[in-house]
Structure 1
Amino acid sequence: MYSAPRNHRGRGRGGGGSDRGRGGGGVGAGRFSGNYGSYRGGRGGDGDGGFSGHIGQAGGRGGCSPYGGRGGGGGGGDGGRGGGGGNYSSYGGRGGGDGGRGGRGNYSYGGRGGGGGRGYGGDGGGWGRGRGGSWRSDLHQASSSSGVERMLEQLSLKPEDQLIRFSSRPPPGTIGEKFLVKTNHFQVEIDSSLKEFFHYNVSIKPEVLFSKDYGVIMEELRNLYLETDMNGEPLAYDGRKSFYTRNRLPFVCKEFGFSVRNKQYVVAISLVAVIDLKKFWQFLNGKDVELPQAVIQALDVVLRQTPSFKYTQVRRSFVSTDFGTSQLGDGLVALRGFYQSLRPTQLGLTVNIDVMAAAFIEEIRVIDFVKQILWRERDTRDLPLSDVERLKIKRALRGVRIEVTHRGNTRRTYSISGLSSMPASEETFSDHESGSNKHIVSYFEEKYGVGLSYKALPCLKVGNKGDISLPMEVCKIVGGQRYKKKLNKPQTANMLKVNNLCPGAREEKILKIVSQNNYTEDLYCSNFGIKISKSLTVVQARKLPAPQLKYHDSGNENVCQPRGGQWNMQNKKMFRGGTINTWVCINFERDISDSHASSFCSKLGGVCNDYRLLYNRSSVLPPTRAVPEQVEWALNALYGDAMRRLKPRNQQLDLIIVILPDNNGSLYGEVKRICDTKLGVMSQCFLAATVKNMKIGTLTIASEKINIKAGGRNVVLEDALLQCVPLVSDKPTIIFGADVTHPSQGNDTSPSIAAVVASLDWKLLGKYAPELSAQAARQERIEDMFVMCKAHFLSFHEENHQKPERIIFFRDGVSEGQIEDVLQHELKEIQRAWMSTFNESSSPPITFVMVQKRHHTRFLQGENNFNFYDKNGNVLPGTVVDTGICHPVLRDFYLNSHAGIQGTNRPAHYHVLHDDNNFTEDQIQTLCNNLCYTFERCNRAVSYVAPAYYAHLLAYRARHYLGVDSSSDGSAAAEHGESSTDHQLKPLPRFHANLKNRMFYI
């Protein structure tokens, strides 16, 4: 490894610190060490720190080689801050002392936190993120996730040597017809006279318990002291611990004491940094590849300041009744609003604005909320709750804030912790004034003159200990409470209606929001010299051709050219038919007779055989009737009866056909849990409506699912069959898909579930073997990647009798803030798994691509050429954008691969994070587009690559294994800081050994 000559790696030393301030000096002699193009720049000088609890002087900046020098360590006490790293992929410095904060590294790791105690992670530049603190924590992590081998490997390597570099952006693609498209990005101009601005830290004592109170306290600070002590300077506040100003305040550090809502607070304000915009202007002019993340973060805060005063903030969005509301049902209402985010792009800065809606609990009486949930047509007042109803109400109300209405103008608020075990008519409490027990009903009538009407309903349990009982009818739900739990099916359908705007209507609403926000006249934007265009940004797009699909030669149409991202099975035969020789049917719908169930199964078998799936028309047993309450007993009994007939013939049961009620609650999940983990048998579920109607189209899709489960193939890419897929067909290539699904908010006992699938049939790119793992709730990076990848490599070798010589990995569900951590951990684990499996010293080339669907970029009709748009104004499948609104340095592109069904299409956002295989943009974009046509559950291109989609399905299926209480947020990226290991997590049952390497999850 090349390093800079010794005389280029000097180490400076900063001045001493005091117990109240920063250490002085500290820019080391190695500041610009290392020649451009050398392997590693010099290390910046170490700075001396302040005493315990204060920030020490930053160390010097590392040299400007492509890998960058390591920044100097922060000095001294517990508050030492490491210096900045060098350019490109450097580490920040190491923070000094216990709890020291690591320095900022550009595009990569922040510095390591202080040793000894638990350190804070450093700030990453670009997309980077700081590494965590104490050495003890590192040892624990190594041993727990992958054992002693990983710990020894980490101990033997320097952190810099472990660093994985991001892929750089190659020239844009050229394949496909070019056209112009509008996007919901608006270009941003910054006043060129802006040279610097100022970052201040906000510390509030005593600690603030509720996030909304930060804004209330800071607003009072503004009212009292802005004009007198801060020169009337507008403060762009981030809602927590920082604000930014255009001009310097007349103090470095100052404390302010005042009262808010009869509570005394002390707010300490201190200057943290002077943010120099020199790098920012170089970045905008294309003269420097370094992303000025601190500047962009500050400007984003400025843009969000006025909306945060006017509207309710939901993460990066704002909602208000001003934008409209819609009923969702069961006591919920959708508040409309807009999403807003400042983005660095090849065009400079843009602000991404999109319409959105969020679910809130309706501001109504609790008794009316309960009525909506129970959907009771009769009067509720004399009807006690059943056990099922009680559980439903308890789950819906737990954690909801209410205010009492029986005390005149006194409006006390509480959070609901549960329900009383007795109805209000029987509920008693200990009256401290009289020293006797009193009945709730008589107490409210005597004390407040309130006669209770709903005496059969339980009381609400509130208070810190849940020891206060309140009748439901004297409580009202406090407004402005966001509903964070999973929506039920009717609510989800209603929310989709709210959000499903066609491109034309979406564009109109977005432009109206931009006009309403009036950024030009905004106090904070004007102060910082920010101007926002009022026009949608127009960029160049290309339409990639759809791949040709190959069916079996026995069909009248054996080669299919999809049109508009979809096709059908007319005149086609499955490419490779599977076999279903033994099967049974179980019926949980009482309105479906045995004869009708038999007719349905017979018709299904006929459709399967028509398409080349060899399906025995005779079942092992006649259809069996069962009740949902005995699902496990019924399935076990049916399986036992079938195996008593099959075992003497040395046969296994191939398939269980399951007929479900249309509204089956958790029954579907229970069926899958039992079949997948207990019985080890494939299952295919049908709703009662499907069985009654017997539509050929529905049965055709079902036959395709069954064929995949039986080991067949419905269709393949013709290029794959001809072995001409670039950088795939030329040598053994394994393609992975990975996703993590998280439990719903408030569920602290269910784990996050990681799913990794991998291709087994190298040449045909269609069969994906499953692997699952449970991990700490809301942990995004896949901790057991090593174990799962090793299993996949072994399966690939068994199937193909060759080692994979190329790896392509598609990762779903990662937010931008977690990219660095996920890439650095997971890519190394993939490499290590391959080396361990085949006893090699190095791994084959890997391309690691992250797929994002949860973003707000949309394509809108940009020109009057209707050849590139469908009848609703959506861009056609195959539309790709890799210039303009894409990242200025890192490698990404947007691909709309699917046909719109309703609303505005959301393109997938692909980030090529690492690419040893050296794909051109045309090659990787074409591969991604073509893989969207290989999703074998339907005859249409899907919205993102099939391997990642399969991983999502597998993770979602495994959520059912945890039981009926394990509701999920889907594949949403876990929010920073929400990972929890304090609760006892439910173990994840494994799928049965009979299902190994089979696509039972499709």
Structure 2
Amino acid sequence: MTSRSPTYHLMTRPGYGAEGRRIRLVANHFDVKLTKTDAVFYQYTLTITPDDVWGYKAAQNKVYGRKIVNRLYEIYSKELNNKRFAYDGGSSLFTVGPLPQNNFEFTVVLEDSSARATAAGPGDGSTVGGDLKRSKRSGFMKRFIVGIKFVAKFPMRSIALALRGSEREDAQDALGVLDIILKQQQAERGCLVLRSCYFDGNHTNIVDLAGGVCACRGFHSSFRTTEGGLSLNSDVSTTIIIKPGPVVEFLLENQNIQDPRQIDWAKANRMLKKMKIKAIHNKMEYKVIGISKLACNMQTFSMKERNSEGETQTVEMTVYNYFQNKRNITVTRSASMPCLDVGKPERPCYLPIELCHLLSLQRYTKELSFQRRVSLAEKCSQKPLERMRVIADAVNDNRYDKDPMLNACGVSIDTRMTTLTGRVLNCPLLKVGNMEDCVPRNGRWNFNQKTLLQPCELLHNQWAIVNFSGHCDLSHLSRELIKCARNRGSKMEEPSVFLEEDREWMRSDPILRVEKMFKKLETKFTEPPRFILCVLPERKICPWKRKNLYQFGIVTQCIAPPKSLKDQYLANVLLKINSKLGGINSLLSVECKRSIPLISQTPTMILAMDVSHGPPGLSFPSVAAVVGSRHWPLISRYRASVRIQSPKLEMIDSLYKPGENGDEGMVRDLLLDFYKTNGGMKPAQMIIFRDGVSDSQLMEVLNVELNQIIKVFEHLGDTTMPKFTVIVAQKKHHTRFFIADNSDNVPPGTVVDNTVVHPRNYDFYMCAHQGRLGTSRPIHYDVLLDEIGFAPDDLQKLVHSLSYVNQKGNAAVSMGKTASLSLLAFCLPPSSPPPDDVECSFPSSVAPVCYAHLAARQLSQCFDLSDTSGGDLPNKAGVPHLPELHENVRRSMFFC
């Protein structure tokens, strides 16, 4: 058979949707006018070469780079025809129009008063530690040879052509230059710049999250080509920073202790490493490289001093005595504490910790605890009206009309938000027990006075309850859950086993705690039970699910129950249990009636794909997950296939892997399962949802991942290839919608496919859920390919309906609900640190995408971080092998 493997291109918009109630909206996009379309951006490569060894590190430093470029302009502006620069902080300069020549070489002298150049001995720049020559360099001059060389040019006209639908690669380059101009403007104001987000550290923007950690509010700004023209997308953003102030106070708060004598210095060393501090005795800034082994009054160093006869001799002196005798500073509070080492590995430089203050705007890159995540969501969320006001104020305060570079390229930014028309789709009708209708309200529904469509049966000897929490009445929990289940039509008998954890193991290693609990279980069951309900404390991490999913094949549900067990809480737990055991809670009415356009008439399989990455800075394998629908014409039941791949790799490389250890890839597993569950029927159509990719990776989804899926069909010998529809769901964007003249969030079902969408490509925004915390964040759907041929209305209604097939809850799916955080904190490995921009609203996506996300997250617990001793996972022999799920749970919806 001839390989298909075509090269795809992003499809153009076939039309617009028309169904739904029209609604007047405001978007956080600001119109941009281009008054000089004949302007041209010129790109130059910037090389900074130190004239001596002392300037080498400065040449590699972005902060120094900006200082050097600013100094260059001050000295040589006439030679450069007074051309303003847009500097990216790295190796590129941009100008509007050309410089007088293509190559320049300048000498720039920069006075350096940094502590890194003068640090010696105890770090005050004095003649200590026998480093007389080095100590005299306080405020010395650094010389750099700066080269400027022409590379390319990007006409502003390309942006105008792209706005009219032309495919122009240089248009994205020109937009990138405009974004660099925005970054430079904020960097010159002293802001922390993270991609396209800016944080100024003003105390009014700092929110204390406890534990020495703060949330810092800032802003996102970027230029976007839209159907309505070029726009500036401006939004609120948040990052996590270290609380500035005395280092000792930070450590006490971070470790939640009162007495400095209780400080865990090993933990403190990990926390403080690479942080920047300011010494209060000399007002100089340093970077921490570690902590001294001995206390301040015992840690010694060698220094040279003259005796009474004028001879130089080397003496040993403690840091404490040095500051007491040489600097006339009495170290009181931290005399018995270790010192901060702010020198170099081969030349330590010690400072008493009480003289050190943490600088502001330093990112916190460790994982956030459950309590801090909840605190972040509560304190940093903003209601729509407040968010609109903050965004509008930020655009006005930035005074873009005064920026010389924007003026030079003819960019004029309106200060009013864009108005547009959206549509609100009707909530789909659901069917529950006895085929009774269930009508969602505001994106939610409940099972009060209703039963489950296909309830599971759980007999007395088939399940158990285990308790890792010290405060839970298991008998009461069991009675209330059984009562709730029977009210919803599910036959659930009292469990045969109640197991409490022995108190002596509660402070042990989580792995040991789980082993001890399973030994107890083995004495109670001759064969593994069908189901285990596990009660967990909120603030613990435990490999409980790993043991069940891989070794014993037991379906398990973890809960951290509140003190008061309400019926709604128990009903939500029951929905998850029923889904995992093979039951069905509800179906779409159109599923039951087989009336979904183009799907109910033709065998169709739905796939959803996502990748979960490990913490930044670690070579922790990424986990890829694909879920596939099983029982056509239903679109509510799914199975997952999971593999691991190279760290930080976003494109999934194991969709098709012929002949590799008997593993032929994830898609083959799901296709064979579809074939078996549908009586030997093969899918004639495939709808693929992809989560987590950026705009720059859309073509890779088509030409890398889709081609892998095509190869799976070829490998299975199919002569007829199915039709494909490929849709990317993006959560990480900054477009928000507000109801004009209204303080409420947009209603569930709001869809926008005009004005702020792409001028050429097929995309739309949809908010399927009811925003309850902060401002609703819509999902941005990019339709990359549609061989099936959906009408715009039919595709939008399908996407909307797929948000309601959620079997693990009773609301249109919302990614990252606060209620699930306590369970993730226990059942899953430590979360990755907060990204550059933290979003506190919870976007709703189609249920299959959420399932893929949950499956990848759950299976990532197969890696035991304790084996790495806090470092990288060993990866010399390639990516480690992920064991297969136990046969008993492989086909279940374990990810619910």
Q: Which residue of 2 aligns with 1:214?
A: 65
User: Superposition pairs for residues 474-489 of structure 1, below 5 Å?
Assistant: 474-489=355-370
User: Structure 1 residue 225 and structure 2 residue 103: aligned?
Assistant: no
Match of 2:698 among 819, 828, 834: 819
Determine if the alignment matches structure 1 residue 183 to structure 2 residue 27: yes
Asked whether the equivalents of residues 749 and 986 of structure 1 are also in contact (C-alpha less than 8 Å), the reply is: no
Between 817-826 and 932-941, report the one with greater CA deviation. Answer: 817-826
Please give the residue correspondences for 1:53-68 in structure 2 after superposition, counting only pairs within 5 Å. none
Where 1:707 maps in the other structure, the secondary structure is: helix
For the Cα contact (< 8 Å) 2:644–2:879, is it kept in 1?
A: no
Where does 1:399-438 land on structure 2 (aligned, <5 Å)? Answer: 399-406=274-281, 408=282, 411=284, 413-416=286-289, 418-420=290-292, 424=296, 427=299
1:515, 1:534 within 8 Å by CA — same for their partners in 2?
yes
Q: Give the partner amino acid of 2:196.
A: R
- RCO (CA 8 Å, sep 6+): is it higher in 1 or 2? 2
Q: Confirm or deny that 1:659 pairs with 2:535.
A: yes
Q: What is the SS of the residue equivalent to 1:658?
A: strand
Q: Distance in 1 between matches of 2:741 and 2:196?
A: 31
Of 647, 652, 674 in structure 1, the residue corresponding to residue 547 of structure 2 is 674
SS of equivalent to 1:329:
coil
Pairwise CA distance, 1:749: 3.5
Which one-letter code corresponds to 1:561 in the other structure? V
State the one-letter code of the partner of 1:772: V
User: Given that residues 962 and 989 in structure 1 are in contact (C-alpha distance below 8 angstroms), is that contact kept between their aligned partners in structure 2?
Assistant: no
Aligned partner of 1:318 among 167, 187, 198: 198
After superposition, give the CA deviation of every residue in 1:234-280 in whole Å (9 maximum; x if it has no partner): 22222223233223221121111112233222221122234334444
Shift of 1:396: 2.3
Q: Counterpart in 2 of 1:716?
A: 587
Aligned to 2:789: 918
**Quick one: distance in 1 between partners of 2:220 and 2:876?**
33
CA 1:477–1:192: 2 relative to 1, 3 Å: closer
CA 946–391 in structure 1, closer or farther in 2 if over 3 Å, else same: farther
Deviation at 1:415, TM superposition (A): 3.0
Equivalent in 846, 858, 862 of residue 724 of structure 2: 846
Q: Within 1, Cα distance between the matches of 2:278 and 2:398?
A: 33
**What letter matches 1:217 in structure 2?**
I
| 1:903 matches 2:771 | no
Matching residue within 826, 829, 852 for 1:951: 852
SS in 2 for 1:876: coil
Aligned equivalents of 1:197, 1:414: Cα separation in 2: 38
1:348 to 229, 234, 247: 229
Q: Does 1:962 align with 2:841?
A: no
Name the one with the larger strand percent: 2
Post-superposition offset of 1:419: 4.1
Over residues 8-41 of structure 1, what are the superposed CA-to-partner deviations in whole Å (9 max), with x where a residue is unaligned? xxxxxxxxxxxxxxxxxxxxxxxxxxxxxxxxxx
Amino acid at match of 2:769: H
Task: Work out whether 1:273 is the aligned partner of 2:273.
Answer: no
Match of 1:395 in 2: 270
- Corresponding residue for residue 583 of structure 1: 463
Verify: 1:361 aligned to 2:242, yes or no: yes
**C-alpha deviation, 1:642, in angstroms:** 4.2
Distance across 2 between alignment mates of 1:666 and 1:708 = 25
| C-alpha distance 369-965 of structure 1, shift in aligned 2 (>3 A) | farther
Maintained 8 Å contact 1:680/1:992: yes
Provide closer, same or farther for how the CA distance between residues 816 and 287 of structure 1 changes in structure 2, counting only shifts above 3 A: closer
User: 1:604 is matched with which residue: 466, 481, 503?
Assistant: 481
Q: Structure 1 residues 462 and 287 mapped into 2: Cα distance closer, same or farther (>3 Å)?
A: closer
How far did residue 784 of structure 1 move?
1.2
Q: What is the TM-score with the length of structure 2 in the denominator?
A: 0.84
**Following the alignment from structure 2 to structure 1, what is the Cα–Cα distance between the partners of residues 39 and 429?**
55
Q: CA deviation at 1:450?
A: 3.7
Relative distance call for 1:693 and 1:512 in structure 2 (3 A) is: same
Q: CA 1:358–1:624 in 2, change beyond 3 Å: closer, same or farther?
A: closer
Provide the secondary structure at the position in 1 that maps to 2:209. strand
**Contact in 1 for aligned 2:38/2:157 (Cα 8 Å):** no
Distance in 2, Cα, partners of 1:185 & 1:966: 48
Contact 2:384 2:738 in 1 (8 A): yes
Change (3 A) 1:403 1:521: closer
1:444-459 alignment runs, 5 A limit: 444-448=323-327, 449-459=329-339
1:518 aligned partner: 399
Matched, 1:859 2:737: yes
Task: State the Cα distance separating 1:332 from its structure 2 match.
Answer: 2.5
Which 10-residue stretch deviates more, 267-276 or 248-257? 267-276
Match of 2:89 in 1: 239
Q: Which moved more, 1:763-772 or 1:483-492?
A: 483-492
The change in CA–CA distance for 1:219 and 1:439 in structure 2 (over 3 A counts) is: same
Which residue type is aligned with residue 218 of structure 1? V
Query: SS of the counterpart of 2:22?
Result: strand
Structure 1: distance between partners of 2:317 and 2:550: 52
| 1:799 match | 677
Could you tell me which amino acid in structure 2 is paired with residue 732 of structure 1?
P
Q: 1:250 to 1:765 in 2, by over 3 A?
A: same
Q: Which residue of 1 aligns with 2:421?
A: 540
- Residue 173 of structure 1 aligns with which residue? 17
What secondary structure does 1:777 align onto? coil
Task: Give the whole-Å Cα distance in 1 for the aligned partners of 2:551 and 2:440.
Answer: 40
**Are 2:600 and 1:729 equivalent residues in the alignment?**
yes
| CA distance in 2: counterparts of 1:414 and 1:363, whole angstroms | 14
Aligned position for 1:33: none
2:49 alignment partner in structure 1: 205
Say if 1:255 and 1:266, in contact at 8 Å, map to a contact too. yes
* Secondary structure, aligned partner of 1:536: strand
SS at match of 2:217: strand
- Whether the aligned pair in 1 keeps the contact of 2:86 and 2:405 (CA below 8 Å) is yes
Cα 1:633–1:258, aligned 2, differ >3 Å: closer, same or farther? closer
Name the CA distance, whole Å, in 2 between partners of 1:420 and 1:995.
Answer: 51
Give distance in 2, aligned partners of 1:427 and 1:587: 49
Distance in 2 (CA, whole Å) between partners of 1:959 and 1:559 is 38
Q: What's the CA shift for 1:583?
A: 1.4
Which residue matches 1:995?
Answer: 889
Counterparts of 1:623-634 in structure 2, within 5 Å, are 623=500, 625=502, 627-628=505-506, 629=508, 631-634=510-513
Deviation (angstroms), 1:775: 1.6
Counterpart selection for 2:100 from 230, 246, 250: 250
Give the SS at the match of 2:198.
Answer: strand
SS at match of 2:18: coil
Q: CA deviation at 1:446?
A: 4.7
User: Could you tell me how far apart the structure 2 residues matched to 1:344 and 1:538 are?
Assistant: 16
Q: Identity of counterpart residues, as a percentage?
A: 29
Measured at CA, do residues 600 and 277 of structure 1 come closer, stay the same or move farther in structure 2, by a change above 3 Å?
A: closer
Contact 1:778 1:980 in 2 (8 A): no
> Match of 2:416, SS?
coil
Distance change in 2, residues 1:991/1:220 (3 Å): farther
| Cα distance in structure 1, aligned partners of 2:336 and 2:714 | 67
Q: Which runs of 5+ in 2 are unaligned?
A: 51-55, 113-140, 306-312, 657-664, 814-843
Alpha-carbon distance change, 422 to 559 in structure 1, aligned in 2, over 3 angstroms: farther
Cα distance in 1, alignment partners of residues 102 and 96 from structure 2: 15
Work out the CA distance in 2 between the residues paired with 1:486 and 1:856: 23
Give the Cα separation in 2 of the matches to 1:788 and 1:429: 60
Gap change, CA 1:526 and 1:547, over 3 Å in 2: same
Q: 1:374 is aligned with what amino acid? A: Q
In 2, distance between residues paired with 1:889 and 1:291?
A: 16
1:563-605 deviation line (CA, Å, top 9, x unaligned):
111111112111111232311222222333xxx2122112212
In the alignment, the residues of structure 2 paired with residue 291 and residue 552 of structure 1 have an alpha-carbon distance, to the nearest angstrom, of: 57
Gap change, CA 1:223 and 1:979, over 3 Å in 2? farther
Unpaired runs of at least 5, structure 1: 1-148, 865-871, 968-977
The residue that corresponds to 2:188 in the other structure is 309
Q: Per-residue displacement from partner, 1:164-196 (whole Å, max 9, x unpaired)?
A: 222221111111122221100011101146343
The residue number in structure 1 matching 2:211 is 330
Partner in structure 2 of residue 561 of structure 1: 439
Alpha-carbon RMSD across the aligned residues, in angstroms, is 3.0
Amino acid at match of 1:951: A
Residue deviations 1:110-163, cap 9 Å, x none? xxxxxxxxxxxxxxxxxxxxxxxxxxxxxxxxxxxxxxx9xxx9xx99xxx742
Residue 793 of structure 1, CA deviation: 1.0
How far the C-alpha of 1:994 sits from its partner, in A, is: 2.5
Task: Compare 428-437 and 564-573 and name the one that shifted more.
Answer: 428-437
